[in-house]
Amino acid sequence: MLFLGISTWQPENSDKVIEHFKKLRPPAGVNIINQWVDISGGRYFLLYETDDPKAFAEFNLPWSDICLIESCPVMESTDFIKLMSQKGV
């Protein structure tokens, strides 16, 4: 399943966040597809895939001391439209 993670942090935590990013190694079961940084500051976007709830937690929880992390399941819009069409919506 695909997830879009959005991490936000306070400016005073920027140095800590940079250190975390330098050490970012996804656990087995998490595949990072792409990642982006908001160049105006304070946000990071991550598209990743996992079907393992333990790997999901292991990947996200270590950041909770310095970031607010929102991760939501996503799918490509064409796939979503196809799915909804099949459901009669």
- Residue 27: pLDDT band (50, 70, 90) is very high
What are the residues whose beta carbons fall under 8 Å from the beta carbon of 51, sequence distance 6 or more?
A: 1, 29
Name the DSSP class of 51: S
Range of 54's domain?
A: 2-86
Residue 68 belongs to domain with CATH number: 3.30.70.100
Instruction: Please report the pLDDT score of residue 53 as a whole number.
Output: 94
Instruction: Please report the pLDDT score of residue 44 as a whole number.
Output: 92
| pTM exceeds 0.75, yes or no | yes
Nearest to 60 by CA among 77, 46, 40, 41: 46
- Residue 25: pLDDT band (50, 70, 90) is confident
**From CA 6, how far away is CA 46, in angstroms rounded?**
7
How many domains is the chain built from? 1
What are the residues whose beta carbons fall under 8 Å from the beta carbon of 15, sequence distance 6 or more?
A: none
